[in-house]
Copies of this chain bind each other. A is one copy, B any other.
Amino acid sequence: MTPKAHFAEKLRLAGLRPTRQRVAIAALLLDGRHRHVTADSLTEEITTAGLHVSGGTVYNTLNQFTEAGLLRRVMVHNDYSLFDTNTDHHHHFYEAENDQLVDIPHDGVILAQLPAAPDGHEIKAVDVVIHIQSKNP
């Protein structure tokens, strides 16, 4: 199976029509490497790859991939959106000084006790962000 066909199939399974743009972005983001991207950094990657995708489509695609569970949105500040290509259950260190996000392995944080969700609700996800700063002395 060609790589292109592989990603097209992946998109179909996710309920997304495999357009040229979505396949190209999937090839960049869904190749198994674990990293964090922004609309901006992704656009750079696309350009570097000698391709062009309009800004609106980059945003749409990131949102659609996230909704489809192919990406995960990480909340650390309100400046712009961050997406994690690792959708496995894991948490993050965040260093505000350098706007640096680092994955914490799955077993690095253990939640011994979760509160019950409010009546009529269920837990969808648990996000843990550990804010860190460089030590002074």
* Chain A residues close to B by CB (< 8 Å): 75-78, 80-81, 93, 95, 102, 104-105, 108-115, 117-118, 120-135
Contacts and interface: CB of A to CB of B under 8 A. Distances in A.
B113 A109 contact: yes
How many copies of this protein are present in the complex? 2
Nearest to A105: B115
Contacts of A108: 113, 115
Given A80-B78, A109-B111, A112-B112, A118 B132 contact: yes
A126 B75 CA distance: 13
Contacts of A131: 123-127
Given A78-B80, A108-B115, A115-B104, A133 B128 contact: no
Contact of A117 (B80, B127, B132): B132
